[in-house]
Chains A and B, each alone.
Chain A
Amino acid sequence: MSPEFIHLIHQTFFGGLAAAGFGILFNCPPRIIGLCFGSGALALAVRTVGIDHGLSLPVASFFAALFLAMADRAWLRVQSVRGSVIAVVGCIPMVPGSLAAKGLRNLFLLFHASPGEGVLPLTTALENLVIVGSTFAAIGTALAIPTLLFPVNQHD
């Protein structure tokens, strides 16, 4: 097996595990924890393939979230909280929380910087926070697109 394929399997499995764990934290019924695992694994697989093909983190996250949201919409004709939660739980492993923490930590490091030494932490913080903001926006927009394009009335 190629290293890329092993990396894809690694990301897929741990993405699924993270989503399933958060599914339990969000009190999803036991019968859909498997779906949470599947949605997280699917999202991470698509994002990993995207990044391996040269896409940036926000763009790859956008396509992964869009793929998940379209699959969710195709599977559930009626818009439901359950459907959206499965898609949202699947996207949780893609939320760049660690990057947000790093960005904020670099901002806090400015307190310790001597005059003239603050440029590097500030630049790193801004870089991290811009990527985080773009990724949040990309995931949220991608999740919303199918419901905006194909609104389904519950009473249909």
Chain B
Amino acid sequence: MLLEWGANARTVRHAVDSTARGLGCDTVETYCQHAAVMVMLRRGEQSCMQMGKVGEHGVNLRRAEAVLRVVDDVSTQALDCEGALEQLKSVIARTGAYPVWVVCLSTGLACAAFGKLLGADALAIVPVVIGAATGQFIRHEMLGRKMNLFLTITVVSFVSSLIAALGGRLLHESNIEITAVASILLLVPGVAILNAQVDALDGRPNLAAARVLRIIYILMFMTLGFIVSQQIARF
């Protein structure tokens, strides 16, 4: 759950360690991979090894915090094993989320701010907000339907940059390319990039390499959607 919601391997290891010791284990070994977490527990003469699958990696701070609160309660023995399982199962239902329109609008504004940082003029704000907000809505809908991540990225990149480029042209903007680029920056996997660094520095090259490979593919599909849309926008 923690890996799926944006934590790095250090946080996962710490959470597993605290939980296991809170439940009375003597030693804990954790092996974090991109698609699975393996845990080896020992208590006296007994030992147990478990492997859990990891789903699509994303970022969701509120859910990660909720999981860590359960971990804290288990480590201080305020919560037993059954109670912790109940709490973990209800994390998604218990944690709040912003309405979709708020997320889309704020993503659009964030991309517009990126555009301003890149040197776009004030006119660029409107097409970037519309393009990026539309792209975020499409991403939300496609990922909600469990569609392929790379297909989603290509579609979002294509639609967002096409809307931004056409809008920029309509408003007679001076630098349409910056406008189009700014509208797809919601797709740059910033947290994954930084987590890959932390994992590499923490001595987990396998997880870091898997993250980097995924980042390269995401950037490639993002660029593909962008190039196709810009070819169309020129006509």
Contacts and interface: CB of A to CB of B under 8 A. Distances in A.
Interface class of chain B by DSSP: helix
Interface stretch (A11-19, A52-60, A114-122): A11-19
Contacts of B7: 81
Give the bracket for the number of chain A residues in contact with chain B: 35 or more
B197 A143 contact: yes
A27 B97 contact: yes
B61 A25 contact: no
A88 B191 contact: yes
Contacts of A101: 181, 184, 219, 222-223, 226
A11 B226 contact: no
B70 interface: no
B14 interface: yes
B118 interface: yes
A11 B117 contact: yes
B114 A98 contact: yes
Contact of B193 (A19, A98, A105, A136): A136
Contact of B227 (A15, A80, A105): A105
B198 A144 contact: yes
Interface string B32-71: 0000000000000000000000000001111111001000
Interface of A: 10-11, 14-15, 17-22, 24-29, 44, 79-82, 84-85, 88, 91-93, 95, 97-98, 100-102, 104-105, 108, 136-137, 139-141, 143-144, 147-148, 154-155
